[in-house]
Amino acid sequence: MSEDFQPIQPGEVAFRLDLTAAELKVTHTALRSLLDDYGHDEQDVIKVIQTVISKLPDEHSIRAIDLKREAAREVRGE
């Protein structure tokens, strides 16, 4: 391990990520799916997933994103 290595501390922001509308919808859907896959005995992981989901726009806003339209716009470079 490098002497310059500084581990990420608990509660410290580790990464910032800019997402397009299509990427946001896919990310939200993937996190919800992941949340559904975890059992009751994995509450620590469930809490982390819920915390990440809570940082995203509300579900109504996510549902309003038309994934096909947004993906097509990204392909066209708009």
What are the extents of the domains in the chain? Answer: 21-76
Q: Is the dihedral angle over the CA atoms 47, 49, 51, 53 positive or is it negative?
A: negative
Q: Is the dihedral angle over the CA atoms 31, 33, 36, 41 positive or is it negative?
A: negative
Q: Is 19 helix (H, G, I), strand (E, B) or coil?
A: coil
Place of tokens 């009751």: 40
Residue type (1 letter), 22: A
Note the pLDDT tens digit of each residue in 28-78.
Answer: 999 999 999 887 788 999 999 999 999 999 999 999 999 999 988 888 887
Confidence at residue 74, expressed as pLDDT on a 0 to 100 scale: 83
Confidence at residue 2, expressed as pLDDT on a 0 to 100 scale: 59
Confidence at residue 38, expressed as pLDDT on a 0 to 100 scale: 83
Q: Kindly report whether the global pTM for this prediction surpasses the value 0.85.
A: no
**Do 50 and 35 form a contact (C-beta atoms < 8 A)?**
yes
